[in-house]
Amino acid sequence: MIRPALTALAIILALPAAAETRVPQSQAEIALGFAPLVKEAAPAVVNIYAKVVRQVQQRRRSPFMNDPFFDDFFRGFAEPQPRVENSLGSGVILSADGIVVSNYHVVGSATEIRVVTADRREYNARVILGDKASDLAILQLEEAEGLPHLDLRNSDEVQVGELALAIGNPFGVGQTVSSGIISGLARTGMGAGDGFGYYIQTDAPINPGNSGGALIDVNGDLIGINTRILSRSGGSNGIGFAIPANLVKEFVAQARSGAEEFQRPWAGMAGQPVDADLAASLGMDLPEGMVVSDLHAESPFAKAGFRAGDVITHVDGEVVNSPSEMVFRMSVAGLGDMSVITRLRGGEREEIEVPMIVAPDQPPANPVQLDEKTALPGLTVARVNPQVIARLGLPLSAEGVVVTDPGPYAGRGGVQAGDQLLAVNGQAVASTDDVYAILAGSGRWIQLDLNRHGRRMALRFRL
Protein backbone atom coordinates (compact mmCIF):
# COMPACT_ATOMS: atom_id res chain seq x y z
CA MET A 1 0.00 0.00 0.00
CA ILE A 2 1.45 3.36 -0.99
CA ARG A 3 1.57 5.75 1.97
CA PRO A 4 1.16 9.35 0.77
CA ALA A 5 3.02 11.97 2.73
CA LEU A 6 0.56 14.46 4.19
CA THR A 7 2.98 17.40 4.22
CA ALA A 8 0.49 20.20 4.66
CA LEU A 9 -1.37 18.31 7.36
CA ALA A 10 1.83 17.74 9.30
CA ILE A 11 2.76 21.41 9.11
CA ILE A 12 -0.59 22.53 10.46
CA LEU A 13 -1.31 19.85 13.07
CA ALA A 14 1.99 18.44 14.26
CA LEU A 15 3.69 21.58 15.56
CA PRO A 16 5.38 21.56 19.00
CA ALA A 17 3.15 22.75 21.81
CA ALA A 18 5.20 25.92 22.32
CA ALA A 19 5.12 26.94 18.66
CA GLU A 20 2.60 29.25 17.12
CA THR A 21 0.21 27.97 14.48
CA ARG A 22 1.06 29.39 11.09
CA VAL A 23 -0.88 29.55 7.88
CA PRO A 24 0.21 27.39 4.92
CA GLN A 25 3.13 28.99 3.10
CA SER A 26 2.38 27.85 -0.45
CA GLN A 27 -0.45 26.96 -2.80
CA ALA A 28 0.73 23.33 -2.73
CA GLU A 29 0.32 23.17 1.04
CA ILE A 30 -3.18 24.61 0.80
CA ALA A 31 -4.26 22.23 -1.97
CA LEU A 32 -2.78 19.01 -0.60
CA GLY A 33 -5.10 18.20 2.35
CA PHE A 34 -6.31 14.60 2.39
CA ALA A 35 -6.41 14.28 -1.39
CA PRO A 36 -3.41 11.90 -1.84
CA LEU A 37 -4.69 9.66 0.95
CA VAL A 38 -8.20 9.46 -0.49
CA LYS A 39 -6.85 8.83 -3.98
CA GLU A 40 -4.97 5.75 -2.73
CA ALA A 41 -7.59 4.35 -0.31
CA ALA A 42 -10.96 5.06 -1.94
CA PRO A 43 -10.64 2.51 -4.80
CA ALA A 44 -10.65 -0.28 -2.20
CA VAL A 45 -14.09 0.76 -0.85
CA VAL A 46 -17.05 -0.70 -2.75
CA ASN A 47 -20.82 -0.30 -2.94
CA ILE A 48 -22.89 -3.37 -2.12
CA TYR A 49 -26.39 -4.02 -3.46
CA ALA A 50 -28.12 -6.91 -1.69
CA LYS A 51 -31.46 -8.46 -2.62
CA VAL A 52 -33.56 -10.47 -0.16
CA VAL A 53 -36.60 -12.47 -1.29
CA ARG A 54 -39.03 -13.36 1.50
CA GLN A 55 -42.19 -15.47 1.32
CA VAL A 56 -45.07 -13.56 2.86
CA GLN A 57 -48.34 -15.31 3.73
CA GLN A 58 -51.47 -13.42 2.73
CA ARG A 59 -53.50 -12.79 5.88
CA ARG A 60 -56.88 -11.81 4.48
CA ARG A 61 -59.19 -14.60 3.43
CA SER A 62 -62.47 -14.34 1.54
CA PRO A 63 -65.56 -16.35 2.53
CA PHE A 64 -65.93 -17.26 -1.16
CA MET A 65 -62.49 -18.85 -1.49
CA ASN A 66 -63.78 -22.44 -1.14
CA ASP A 67 -66.78 -21.88 -3.39
CA PRO A 68 -66.30 -23.79 -6.71
CA PHE A 69 -67.89 -20.94 -8.64
CA PHE A 70 -65.31 -18.40 -7.42
CA ASP A 71 -62.38 -20.83 -7.48
CA ASP A 72 -60.70 -19.24 -10.51
CA PHE A 73 -61.03 -15.76 -9.02
CA PHE A 74 -59.21 -16.67 -5.80
CA ARG A 75 -56.66 -19.12 -7.17
CA GLY A 76 -53.38 -18.52 -5.32
CA PHE A 77 -54.91 -15.74 -3.22
CA ALA A 78 -53.76 -17.06 0.18
CA GLU A 79 -50.57 -18.69 -0.99
CA PRO A 80 -47.22 -17.27 0.16
CA GLN A 81 -46.18 -14.40 -2.08
CA PRO A 82 -42.56 -13.37 -2.66
CA ARG A 83 -41.57 -9.94 -1.37
CA VAL A 84 -38.30 -8.49 -2.63
CA GLU A 85 -36.31 -6.25 -0.29
CA ASN A 86 -33.21 -4.37 -1.37
CA SER A 87 -30.49 -3.05 0.89
CA LEU A 88 -27.59 -0.75 0.17
CA GLY A 89 -24.30 -0.70 2.03
CA SER A 90 -20.56 -0.51 1.67
CA GLY A 91 -17.66 -2.91 1.84
CA VAL A 92 -13.86 -2.95 1.87
CA ILE A 93 -11.60 -5.03 -0.38
CA LEU A 94 -8.92 -6.75 1.70
CA SER A 95 -7.09 -8.76 -0.95
CA ALA A 96 -6.32 -8.67 -4.66
CA ASP A 97 -8.34 -11.86 -5.23
CA GLY A 98 -11.61 -10.28 -4.07
CA ILE A 99 -11.99 -10.88 -0.34
CA VAL A 100 -14.39 -8.16 0.88
CA VAL A 101 -15.58 -7.38 4.41
CA SER A 102 -18.93 -5.77 5.20
CA ASN A 103 -21.61 -5.83 7.88
CA TYR A 104 -23.78 -8.87 8.44
CA HIS A 105 -26.88 -6.67 8.59
CA VAL A 106 -26.12 -5.55 5.01
CA VAL A 107 -25.64 -8.96 3.35
CA GLY A 108 -26.40 -11.69 5.91
CA SER A 109 -29.87 -12.58 4.57
CA ALA A 110 -29.23 -11.71 0.93
CA THR A 111 -30.21 -14.07 -1.87
CA GLU A 112 -28.32 -12.02 -4.44
CA ILE A 113 -25.31 -9.73 -3.91
CA ARG A 114 -23.86 -7.32 -6.43
CA VAL A 115 -20.65 -5.41 -5.68
CA VAL A 116 -19.66 -2.28 -7.61
CA THR A 117 -16.13 -0.91 -7.37
CA ALA A 118 -15.11 2.75 -7.47
CA ASP A 119 -14.22 2.42 -11.17
CA ARG A 120 -17.72 0.99 -11.88
CA ARG A 121 -16.73 -2.63 -12.38
CA GLU A 122 -19.44 -5.01 -11.16
CA TYR A 123 -19.04 -8.43 -9.55
CA ASN A 124 -21.37 -11.09 -8.24
CA ALA A 125 -20.49 -12.03 -4.67
CA ARG A 126 -21.33 -14.66 -2.07
CA VAL A 127 -21.00 -14.70 1.71
CA ILE A 128 -18.32 -17.20 2.74
CA LEU A 129 -18.47 -16.43 6.46
CA GLY A 130 -20.94 -14.39 8.46
CA ASP A 131 -21.75 -13.82 12.11
CA LYS A 132 -24.81 -11.91 13.27
CA ALA A 133 -23.49 -11.42 16.81
CA SER A 134 -20.37 -9.61 15.60
CA ASP A 135 -22.20 -7.99 12.64
CA LEU A 136 -19.42 -9.00 10.24
CA ALA A 137 -19.55 -10.84 6.93
CA ILE A 138 -16.77 -11.90 4.56
CA LEU A 139 -17.59 -11.94 0.84
CA GLN A 140 -15.82 -13.52 -2.10
CA LEU A 141 -16.11 -11.70 -5.42
CA GLU A 142 -16.45 -14.00 -8.43
CA GLU A 143 -13.69 -13.95 -11.05
CA ALA A 144 -11.81 -11.13 -9.33
CA GLU A 145 -8.09 -10.53 -9.53
CA GLY A 146 -5.66 -7.65 -9.22
CA LEU A 147 -8.03 -5.51 -7.16
CA PRO A 148 -6.88 -2.55 -5.05
CA HIS A 149 -7.09 -3.34 -1.35
CA LEU A 150 -6.41 -1.94 2.11
CA ASP A 151 -3.99 -3.25 4.72
CA LEU A 152 -5.24 -4.01 8.22
CA ARG A 153 -3.69 -2.02 11.04
CA ASN A 154 -3.25 -3.42 14.56
CA SER A 155 -6.29 -1.71 16.07
CA ASP A 156 -4.87 -2.07 19.59
CA GLU A 157 -2.35 0.62 18.64
CA VAL A 158 -5.05 3.17 17.77
CA GLN A 159 -5.19 6.13 20.15
CA VAL A 160 -7.87 8.66 21.02
CA GLY A 161 -7.24 11.87 19.10
CA GLU A 162 -5.86 10.29 15.95
CA LEU A 163 -7.15 11.60 12.65
CA ALA A 164 -9.48 9.26 10.78
CA LEU A 165 -11.42 9.16 7.53
CA ALA A 166 -14.72 7.34 6.94
CA ILE A 167 -15.34 6.18 3.36
CA GLY A 168 -18.66 4.74 2.20
CA ASN A 169 -21.88 5.35 0.32
CA PRO A 170 -24.20 7.29 2.66
CA PHE A 171 -27.85 7.48 1.59
CA GLY A 172 -26.89 5.97 -1.77
CA VAL A 173 -25.56 9.30 -3.08
CA GLY A 174 -22.24 7.76 -4.16
CA GLN A 175 -18.85 7.26 -2.59
CA THR A 176 -18.28 9.90 0.07
CA VAL A 177 -15.36 10.74 2.38
CA SER A 178 -15.76 12.35 5.80
CA SER A 179 -13.05 13.25 8.29
CA GLY A 180 -12.75 13.37 12.06
CA ILE A 181 -10.81 11.90 14.93
CA ILE A 182 -10.88 8.75 17.02
CA SER A 183 -13.03 9.94 19.93
CA GLY A 184 -13.17 6.79 22.05
CA LEU A 185 -11.94 3.22 22.39
CA ALA A 186 -13.34 0.01 23.85
CA ARG A 187 -16.95 1.15 23.58
CA THR A 188 -19.30 -1.65 24.63
CA GLY A 189 -23.01 -2.09 25.16
CA MET A 190 -23.85 -0.94 21.61
CA GLY A 191 -24.37 -4.43 20.20
CA ALA A 192 -27.40 -5.82 18.43
CA GLY A 193 -28.93 -7.30 21.56
CA ASP A 194 -26.28 -9.92 22.22
CA GLY A 195 -23.70 -8.06 24.27
CA PHE A 196 -20.81 -8.85 21.90
CA GLY A 197 -20.40 -5.25 20.78
CA TYR A 198 -16.90 -3.77 21.14
CA TYR A 199 -16.17 -0.69 19.06
CA ILE A 200 -13.88 2.15 18.14
CA GLN A 201 -15.73 5.47 18.38
CA THR A 202 -15.25 8.29 15.88
CA ASP A 203 -16.77 11.68 15.19
CA ALA A 204 -16.22 11.29 11.43
CA PRO A 205 -19.82 11.54 10.10
CA ILE A 206 -21.35 8.11 9.45
CA ASN A 207 -24.82 7.81 7.94
CA PRO A 208 -27.13 5.06 6.59
CA GLY A 209 -25.35 3.40 3.68
CA ASN A 210 -21.95 3.85 5.34
CA SER A 211 -22.43 0.46 7.02
CA GLY A 212 -19.58 -1.83 6.05
CA GLY A 213 -17.40 1.05 4.86
CA ALA A 214 -13.84 1.83 5.87
CA LEU A 215 -12.47 3.81 8.78
CA ILE A 216 -8.83 4.50 7.92
CA ASP A 217 -5.89 6.31 9.49
CA VAL A 218 -3.58 8.91 7.91
CA ASN A 219 -1.41 6.13 6.46
CA GLY A 220 -4.35 4.63 4.58
CA ASP A 221 -4.53 1.51 6.76
CA LEU A 222 -7.87 0.07 7.85
CA ILE A 223 -8.65 0.80 11.50
CA GLY A 224 -12.18 -0.60 11.51
CA ILE A 225 -15.44 -1.28 9.68
CA ASN A 226 -18.12 1.38 10.16
CA THR A 227 -21.20 -0.28 11.54
CA ARG A 228 -23.61 1.98 13.46
CA ILE A 229 -24.30 5.41 14.89
CA LEU A 230 -25.77 6.75 18.12
CA SER A 231 -28.60 9.03 17.08
CA ARG A 232 -32.15 9.99 18.02
CA SER A 233 -32.94 11.39 14.59
CA GLY A 234 -31.38 8.66 12.43
CA GLY A 235 -28.70 11.02 11.10
CA SER A 236 -25.09 11.43 12.17
CA ASN A 237 -24.60 13.38 15.39
CA GLY A 238 -20.86 12.85 15.54
CA ILE A 239 -20.92 9.54 17.45
CA GLY A 240 -20.19 6.61 15.16
CA PHE A 241 -18.85 3.15 15.84
CA ALA A 242 -16.51 0.87 13.92
CA ILE A 243 -15.65 -2.80 14.46
CA PRO A 244 -11.89 -3.00 15.18
CA ALA A 245 -9.59 -4.30 12.45
CA ASN A 246 -8.14 -6.99 14.71
CA LEU A 247 -11.49 -8.79 14.80
CA VAL A 248 -11.80 -8.41 11.01
CA LYS A 249 -8.37 -10.08 10.69
CA GLU A 250 -9.58 -13.14 12.62
CA PHE A 251 -12.71 -13.33 10.46
CA VAL A 252 -10.64 -13.29 7.28
CA ALA A 253 -8.35 -16.01 8.66
CA GLN A 254 -11.29 -18.29 9.50
CA ALA A 255 -12.97 -17.58 6.16
CA ARG A 256 -9.83 -18.55 4.27
CA SER A 257 -9.53 -21.73 6.34
CA GLY A 258 -12.98 -22.82 5.14
CA ALA A 259 -14.94 -22.28 8.37
CA GLU A 260 -18.71 -22.44 7.83
CA GLU A 261 -19.45 -20.31 10.89
CA PHE A 262 -17.33 -18.02 13.02
CA GLN A 263 -15.82 -19.88 15.95
CA ARG A 264 -14.97 -17.85 19.06
CA PRO A 265 -13.21 -19.40 22.06
CA TRP A 266 -15.49 -20.46 24.89
CA ALA A 267 -14.91 -19.03 28.36
CA GLY A 268 -17.69 -20.94 30.15
CA MET A 269 -17.78 -18.04 32.54
CA ALA A 270 -20.07 -15.22 33.69
CA GLY A 271 -18.89 -11.94 35.15
CA GLN A 272 -19.52 -8.26 35.65
CA PRO A 273 -17.49 -5.03 35.58
CA VAL A 274 -15.81 -3.97 38.82
CA ASP A 275 -17.32 -0.68 39.98
CA ALA A 276 -16.27 1.45 42.97
CA ASP A 277 -18.46 -0.40 45.49
CA LEU A 278 -17.37 -3.81 44.27
CA ALA A 279 -13.72 -2.73 44.29
CA ALA A 280 -14.03 -1.65 47.91
CA SER A 281 -15.61 -4.97 48.91
CA LEU A 282 -12.79 -6.84 47.17
CA GLY A 283 -10.11 -4.73 48.85
CA MET A 284 -8.95 -3.14 45.57
CA ASP A 285 -7.39 0.33 45.49
CA LEU A 286 -9.09 1.23 42.20
CA PRO A 287 -11.97 -0.31 40.22
CA GLU A 288 -10.57 -2.33 37.32
CA GLY A 289 -11.21 -5.55 35.48
CA MET A 290 -14.08 -8.00 35.46
CA VAL A 291 -15.04 -10.09 38.48
CA VAL A 292 -15.95 -13.75 37.83
CA SER A 293 -19.42 -14.58 39.16
CA ASP A 294 -19.91 -18.11 37.83
CA LEU A 295 -17.98 -20.87 36.06
CA HIS A 296 -19.12 -23.95 34.19
CA ALA A 297 -17.51 -27.18 35.37
CA GLU A 298 -16.02 -27.74 31.89
CA SER A 299 -14.75 -24.18 31.50
CA PRO A 300 -11.07 -23.95 30.52
CA PHE A 301 -10.79 -21.17 33.12
CA ALA A 302 -12.16 -23.43 35.85
CA LYS A 303 -9.68 -26.14 34.85
CA ALA A 304 -6.88 -23.55 34.98
CA GLY A 305 -7.72 -22.76 38.62
CA PHE A 306 -10.04 -19.75 38.33
CA ARG A 307 -12.99 -19.48 40.70
CA ALA A 308 -15.87 -17.12 41.47
CA GLY A 309 -14.59 -13.90 43.03
CA ASP A 310 -11.41 -13.74 40.94
CA VAL A 311 -10.84 -10.52 39.00
CA ILE A 312 -9.56 -10.68 35.41
CA THR A 313 -7.73 -7.50 34.41
CA HIS A 314 -5.91 -8.39 31.16
CA VAL A 315 -5.98 -10.87 28.28
CA ASP A 316 -2.64 -11.15 26.47
CA GLY A 317 -1.59 -7.85 28.01
CA GLU A 318 -4.70 -5.97 26.85
CA VAL A 319 -7.03 -4.39 29.40
CA VAL A 320 -10.37 -6.08 30.11
CA ASN A 321 -13.09 -4.22 32.01
CA SER A 322 -16.34 -5.95 31.00
CA PRO A 323 -17.71 -9.27 29.69
CA SER A 324 -17.97 -7.73 26.18
CA GLU A 325 -14.28 -6.84 26.24
CA MET A 326 -13.50 -10.37 27.43
CA VAL A 327 -15.42 -11.87 24.49
CA PHE A 328 -13.65 -9.53 22.07
CA ARG A 329 -10.16 -10.27 23.41
CA MET A 330 -10.73 -14.01 23.26
CA SER A 331 -12.20 -13.75 19.74
CA VAL A 332 -9.11 -11.85 18.57
CA ALA A 333 -6.82 -14.40 20.24
CA GLY A 334 -8.33 -17.13 18.06
CA LEU A 335 -8.70 -20.86 18.59
CA GLY A 336 -5.97 -23.33 19.39
CA ASP A 337 -3.55 -20.99 21.15
CA MET A 338 -2.84 -20.31 24.80
CA SER A 339 -3.74 -16.84 26.10
CA VAL A 340 -2.11 -15.22 29.09
CA ILE A 341 -4.77 -14.12 31.57
CA THR A 342 -3.92 -11.70 34.37
CA ARG A 343 -5.81 -12.66 37.53
CA LEU A 344 -6.17 -10.61 40.70
CA ARG A 345 -6.94 -12.63 43.83
CA GLY A 346 -6.45 -11.46 47.40
CA GLY A 347 -4.43 -8.48 46.26
CA GLU A 348 -1.97 -10.67 44.35
CA ARG A 349 -1.61 -10.57 40.57
CA GLU A 350 -0.76 -13.71 38.63
CA GLU A 351 -0.44 -14.49 34.93
CA ILE A 352 -2.01 -17.82 33.97
CA GLU A 353 -2.12 -19.52 30.57
CA VAL A 354 -5.56 -20.67 29.46
CA PRO A 355 -6.26 -22.66 26.26
CA MET A 356 -8.57 -21.06 23.71
CA ILE A 357 -11.04 -23.84 22.84
CA VAL A 358 -14.51 -24.19 21.34
CA ALA A 359 -17.33 -25.16 23.65
CA PRO A 360 -17.22 -28.98 23.93
CA ASP A 361 -20.08 -31.03 22.54
CA GLN A 362 -20.00 -33.35 25.54
CA PRO A 363 -22.15 -35.08 26.52
CA PRO A 364 -23.50 -35.32 22.94
CA ALA A 365 -26.40 -32.94 22.27
CA ASN A 366 -28.26 -35.66 20.35
CA PRO A 367 -30.62 -33.23 18.54
CA VAL A 368 -33.96 -34.68 17.47
CA GLN A 369 -36.42 -33.12 15.03
CA LEU A 370 -39.96 -34.41 15.55
CA ASP A 371 -41.63 -35.88 12.46
CA GLU A 372 -45.23 -36.27 11.28
CA LYS A 373 -45.75 -39.21 13.63
CA THR A 374 -45.70 -36.81 16.57
CA ALA A 375 -48.08 -34.09 17.68
CA LEU A 376 -45.69 -31.17 16.97
CA PRO A 377 -43.78 -31.95 13.77
CA GLY A 378 -40.80 -29.71 13.12
CA LEU A 379 -40.05 -29.13 16.80
CA THR A 380 -36.31 -29.70 17.36
CA VAL A 381 -34.86 -30.40 20.79
CA ALA A 382 -31.37 -31.13 22.06
CA ARG A 383 -29.63 -32.15 25.25
CA VAL A 384 -28.02 -29.22 27.03
CA ASN A 385 -24.21 -29.24 26.94
CA PRO A 386 -21.53 -26.50 26.78
CA GLN A 387 -21.88 -26.13 23.00
CA VAL A 388 -25.66 -25.72 23.22
CA ILE A 389 -25.27 -23.28 26.12
CA ALA A 390 -22.86 -21.14 24.09
CA ARG A 391 -24.97 -21.22 20.91
CA LEU A 392 -28.28 -20.33 22.57
CA GLY A 393 -26.91 -18.09 25.33
CA LEU A 394 -28.31 -20.26 28.12
CA PRO A 395 -27.36 -19.88 31.80
CA LEU A 396 -24.23 -21.82 32.76
CA SER A 397 -26.34 -23.87 35.16
CA ALA A 398 -28.77 -25.01 32.44
CA GLU A 399 -29.33 -28.75 32.06
CA GLY A 400 -31.82 -31.22 30.64
CA VAL A 401 -33.51 -30.67 27.26
CA VAL A 402 -33.81 -27.39 25.32
CA VAL A 403 -35.73 -26.28 22.23
CA THR A 404 -33.32 -25.35 19.42
CA ASP A 405 -36.04 -24.75 16.79
CA PRO A 406 -39.76 -24.51 17.62
CA GLY A 407 -40.87 -25.45 14.11
CA PRO A 408 -44.09 -24.16 12.51
CA TYR A 409 -46.68 -25.54 14.95
CA ALA A 410 -45.02 -25.07 18.33
CA GLY A 411 -43.71 -21.70 17.14
CA ARG A 412 -47.22 -20.44 16.48
CA GLY A 413 -48.15 -21.57 19.98
CA GLY A 414 -45.45 -19.41 21.57
CA VAL A 415 -42.52 -21.82 21.93
CA GLN A 416 -39.13 -20.18 21.31
CA ALA A 417 -35.60 -21.38 20.65
CA GLY A 418 -33.76 -21.48 23.99
CA ASP A 419 -36.79 -22.62 26.01
CA GLN A 420 -35.78 -25.35 28.45
CA LEU A 421 -38.30 -28.18 28.24
CA LEU A 422 -39.14 -29.42 31.74
CA ALA A 423 -42.14 -31.67 31.13
CA VAL A 424 -44.58 -32.78 28.43
CA ASN A 425 -48.14 -33.59 29.46
CA GLY A 426 -47.00 -33.67 33.08
CA GLN A 427 -44.20 -36.15 32.44
CA ALA A 428 -40.69 -34.94 33.21
CA VAL A 429 -38.25 -35.20 30.29
CA ALA A 430 -34.58 -36.07 30.76
CA SER A 431 -33.61 -36.75 27.16
CA THR A 432 -34.61 -35.92 23.59
CA ASP A 433 -35.91 -39.49 23.18
CA ASP A 434 -38.36 -38.84 26.06
CA VAL A 435 -39.83 -35.88 24.16
CA TYR A 436 -40.32 -37.91 21.00
CA ALA A 437 -41.91 -40.84 22.84
CA ILE A 438 -44.41 -38.69 24.75
CA LEU A 439 -45.48 -36.57 21.76
CA ALA A 440 -45.78 -39.64 19.53
CA GLY A 441 -48.47 -41.03 21.85
CA SER A 442 -50.27 -37.85 22.94
CA GLY A 443 -53.99 -37.17 22.67
CA ARG A 444 -55.86 -34.07 21.53
CA TRP A 445 -54.36 -31.83 24.23
CA ILE A 446 -50.68 -31.13 24.80
CA GLN A 447 -49.07 -29.19 27.63
CA LEU A 448 -45.42 -28.10 27.57
CA ASP A 449 -43.83 -26.92 30.83
CA LEU A 450 -40.97 -24.55 30.01
CA ASN A 451 -38.27 -22.47 31.67
CA ARG A 452 -37.60 -19.24 29.78
CA HIS A 453 -34.95 -16.89 31.15
CA GLY A 454 -35.54 -18.22 34.65
CA ARG A 455 -39.36 -17.94 34.45
CA ARG A 456 -41.49 -21.07 34.43
CA MET A 457 -44.51 -21.23 32.13
CA ALA A 458 -46.96 -23.73 30.70
CA LEU A 459 -48.25 -23.72 27.09
CA ARG A 460 -51.27 -25.78 26.01
CA PHE A 461 -52.07 -26.93 22.49
CA ARG A 462 -55.28 -28.44 21.11
CA LEU A 463 -54.84 -30.70 18.08
Question: Among 287, 269, 286, which Cα is nearest to 329's?
Answer: 269
135 is catalytic: yes
Question: Among 325, 293, 323, which Cα is nearest to 309's?
Answer: 293
Q: Of the listed 87, 134, 135, 419, which one is catalytic?
A: 135
151 is catalytic: no
How many angstroms separate the CA atoms of 124 and 179, rounded? 31
Q: b/e string for 192-227 if b means 16 or more Cβ within 10 A?
A: eeeebbbbbbbbbbbbbbbbbbbbbbbbbbbbbbbb
Q: Of the listed 87, 90, 102, 105, which one is catalytic?
A: 105
| Number of other residues whose CB lies within 10 A of the CB of residue 243 | 27
Q: Of the listed 178, 183, 211, 331, which one is catalytic?
A: 211
Considering all CA atoms of the chain, what is the largest pairwise distance in Å, rounded to the nearest integer?
Answer: 92
Q: b/e string for 109-128 if b means 16 or more Cβ within 10 A?
A: bbeebebbbbeeeebebebb
The values of phi and psi at residue 114, to 5°, are -125, 130
How many angstroms separate the CA atoms of 282 and 277, rounded? 9
How many angstroms separate the CA atoms of 199 and 196, rounded? 10
End-to-end CA distance of the chain: 65
275 is catalytic: no
Q: What positions carry a catalytic annotation?
A: 105, 135, 211
